[in-house]
Amino acid sequence: MIKHYKITVTGSVQGVGFRYSVRNIAHNLGISGFVKNLYDGSVYIEAEAEQNILAQFVDWCKQGPKMAIVEHVDIKEAELNGFLLFEVRY
């Protein structure tokens, strides 16, 4: 079943290539949605895929790229949006 997750990642996650790593992982897993930096220093992601794929994605988000220090990952389920691709938003 396809799910939609709203994910907020906090910690030292900006300026370390987090968004571009998220985009690459999402492309590799076949996830659609977007990622963007928030003004409070966190990274916000909306992702749609099969639940088991999203579970893998969330596990990766808990680690992030090697320069990131992830402190917390908040996940909320939401209604499907029907994203066609995955992109970095500014």
Catalytic residue among 19, 23, 24, 52: 19
Tell me the whole-structure pTM to 2 decimals: 0.97
CA distances from 83 to 14, 17, 31, 90 (A): 24, 23, 9, 17
- Indicate the CATH number for domain 2-83: 3.30.70.100
pLDDT attached to residue 77 = 98
Annotated active-site residue 81? The verdict is no
Predicted confidence (pLDDT) per residue in 48-71, tens digit: 999 999 999 999 999 999 999 999
Catalytic residue among 37, 52, 81, 89: 37
Annotated active-site residue 28? The verdict is no
Domain locations along the chain = 2-83
pLDDT attached to residue 45 = 99
Q: Which helix (H) or strand (E) holds 85?
A: none
Predicted confidence (pLDDT) per residue in 30-43, tens digit: 999 999 999 999 99
